[in-house]
Amino acid sequence: MESLSELVEFPLLQTPIDAHYRACTIPYRFPSDNPRKPTPTEISWIHLFLNSIPSFKKRAESDTSVPDAANKAEKFAQRYTDILEDLKKDPESHGGPPDCILLCRLREQILRELGFADIFKKVKDEENANAISLFENVVLLNDAIEDDVKRLENLVRGIFAGNIFDLGSAQLAEVFSKDGMSFLASCQNLVPRPWVIDDLDTFKAKWSKKSWKKANNSGADIILGILPFARELLRRGSQVVLAANDLPSINDVTYSELVEIISQLKDEEGRLVGVSTSNLFIANSGNDLPVIDLTRVSQELAYLATDADLVILEGMGRGIETNLYAQFKCDSLKIGMVKHPEVAQFLGGRLYDCVFKYNEVSSL
Clarify whether residues 104 and 237 are in a common domain: no
Clarify whether residues 94 and 127 are in a common domain: no
- Last residue of one domain, picked from the residues 85, 114, 143: 114
Quickly list DSSP for 258-309.
HHHHHHHHS-TTSEETTEE-TTEEEEE----SSS--TTSB-HHHHHHHTT-S
Quickly list DSSP for 161-199.
HHHT--TTSHHHHHHHHHH---HHHHHHTSPPSSPSEE-
Please report whether residue 288 resides in a domain. Answer: yes
Please report whether residue 22 resides in a domain. Answer: no
- Last residue of one domain, picked from the residues 97, 114, 131: 114
Q: How far is CA 351 from CA 257, 272, 354, in A?
A: 30, 34, 9
Whole-number pLDDT of residue 176 = 47
Please report whether residue 27 resides in a domain. Answer: no
Clarify whether residues 56 and 142 are in a common domain: no
Clarify whether residues 185 and 219 are in a common domain: yes
Q: Which of 276, 280, 293 is nearest to 10 (CA)?
A: 293
Clarify whether residues 76 and 143 are in a common domain: no
Phi, then psi, of 340 in degrees rounded to 5: -120, 135
C-alpha–C-alpha distance, residues 254 and 211, integer Å: 29
Please report whether residue 25 resides in a domain. Answer: no
Clarify whether residues 285 and 173 are in a common domain: yes
- Last residue of one domain, picked from the residues 114, 141, 162: 114
Whole-number pLDDT of residue 72 = 98
C-alpha–C-alpha distance, residues 75 and 111, integer Å: 9
Residue 74 belongs to a domain with what CATH number? 1.20.1700.10
Please report whether residue 7 resides in a domain. Answer: no
Phi, then psi, of 312 in degrees rounded to 5: -120, 125
- Identify the H or E element spanning 216: strand 214-218
Collect all residues with Cβ–Cβ distance below 8 Å to 11 and sequence separation of at least 6.
302, 305, 306
Clarify whether residues 61 and 82 are in a common domain: yes
The radius of gyration of the chain's CA atoms, rounded to the nearest angstrom, is 20
Handedness of CA 336, 233, 289, 324 (dihedral sign): negative
Domain of residue 274 covers: 121-359
Clarify whether residues 243 and 355 are in a common domain: yes
What is the per-residue burial (b if ≥16 Cβ within 10 Å, else e) of 75-107? bbbebbeebbeebeeebeebebbbbbbbbbbbb
C-alpha–C-alpha distance, residues 40 and 31, integer Å: 15
Clarify whether residues 282 and 238 are in a common domain: yes
Please report whether residue 266 resides in a domain. Answer: yes
Please report whether residue 339 resides in a domain. Answer: yes
Clarify whether residues 127 and 109 are in a common domain: no
What is the pLDDT tens value at each position of the chain, 364 positions in all? Answer: 344 479 999 999 999 999 999 999 999 999 999 999 999 999 999 999 999 999 999 999 999 999 999 999 999 999 999 999 999 999 999 999 999 999 999 999 999 999 999 999 998 898 888 888 888 988 999 999 999 999 999 999 999 987 776 545 555 455 545 544 566 667 778 899 999 999 999 999 999 999 999 998 876 579 989 999 999 999 999 999 999 999 999 888 999 999 999 999 999 999 999 999 999 999 999 999 999 999 999 999 999 999 999 999 999 999 999 999 999 999 999 999 998 999 999 999 999 999 999 999 976 5
Q: Which of 308, 352, 351 is nearest to 333 (CA)?
A: 308
Handedness of CA 232, 233, 239, 245 (dihedral sign): negative
* DSSP letter (8 states) at residue 4: G
Clarify whether residues 218 and 317 are in a common domain: yes
Residue 194 belongs to a domain with what CATH number? 3.40.50.10880
**How many domains are there within the chain?**
2
C-alpha–C-alpha distance, residues 221 and 162, integer Å: 5
Clarify whether residues 67 and 192 are in a common domain: no
Please report whether residue 1 resides in a domain. Answer: no
- Apex 148 CA angle, 139 and 330, nearest 5: 95
Helix boundaries (H) for 69-169: 69-89, 100-113, 121-143, 148-163
